[in-house]
Amino acid sequence: MTIATLDHRFTEFLLESNALKFGDFTLKSGRKSPYFINAGAFDDGKKIAALGAFYAEKISQAIVHNTIPRNIDTVFGPAYKGIPLAVSAAASLYRNYDRDLPYCFNRKEAKDHGADKGNLLGYEPKDGDRVVMVEDVTTSGKSIDETYPKVKAAADVEIKGLIVSLNRMEVGKGGVTTAQKEIEAKYGFPVASIVSMAEVVETLYNHEIDGKVVIDDELKTAIDAYYEQYGARE
C-alpha cells in the first residue's frame, strides 16, 4: 500500500478545511490570484490540532534532514496568525514526537506594565536560545521583516528556521526569486514549506477528490497564466 506524502496529505487537508479556495481573488499585494489560502478556516479544535500536527511533522522532517538543528529551544509564532500555529505545533511536537518545547509569540503593541510587560508572551527567550518560527503563508516577507527585530530585541537568540504552510512560488519584493529565498538570503536561516503550489497543482490537476476534479484544464490555464506573470523558480 502506498502511503501518501506529506504534501499530498496537506493539500487534501487544505481542501477539506475549506482553507484552499480557487476563483478570482485580490491579494494584499494587489495581484489578482486564481487561488487563496484562508487561515481563518482553521476554526475548531479538530482542524487546528491537525494543522499543528502537519507543522510538527515538517519540523521533524527538517531536523532529520539537518535543515534545522535538533536542539531547538522554542517555537515562535508572529502575531496574529502565527499564534495558534506556535501553540498547536508545540503541542503536537510533544504529543507525537516526545519533544517538549516552549512556545512564544509577539504582541502587535508592547505592554509597558505588569508582570508580562514587553513585546512577547509565553516563554521568555534567553540569550543563545535556538528558535524555529512558524507562519501561515509568506508572500512578500513583510511579516518576518516586522517580527524578526522584535524577537532579536527580546534576547540574543538564534533564528534557526522558518516553517510555512504554503510556498506560493511567486517573486518576492526583489522581483527575481521567491520571497522564501529572499528571506533566506537576507536573514541567513532556512525556510521550508509543508507544500508548494507546484505540488498542490500536481496533486489536484485532473485528479478527483471526493468525486470532483478540483483543478480542471480551464483553472490550470489560469494558474499557469498567473505564474507566467508572477512566478519564480526556487
User: Is 65 tagged catalytic?
Assistant: no
Q: Are 155 and 129 in contact (CB under 8 A)?
A: yes
Task: Give the position of cell 506556535.
Answer: 86
Pairs from 68-72 (Cβ < 8 Å, separation ≥ 24): 68/132, 68/160, 68/161, 68/190, 68/192, 69/130, 69/160, 71/130, 72/101, 72/130, 72/131, 72/132, 72/160
Q: Are 129 and 159 in contact (CB under 8 A)?
A: no
Of 111, 117, 126, 207, the catalytic one is 111
Nearest residue to 163 via CA among 130, 193, 124, 198: 193
Task: Give the position of cell 536560545.
Answer: 129
What interhelical angle do 179-187 and 142-154 show, nearest 10? Answer: 30
- DSSP 8-state code for residue 115: T
**Can you tell me the distance from the alpha carbon of 12 to that of 18, in angstroms, rounded to the nearest whole number?**
10
The H-or-E segment that residue 199 falls in is helix 197-204
User: Is 160 tagged catalytic?
Assistant: no
Q: Which residues are catalytic?
A: 111, 113
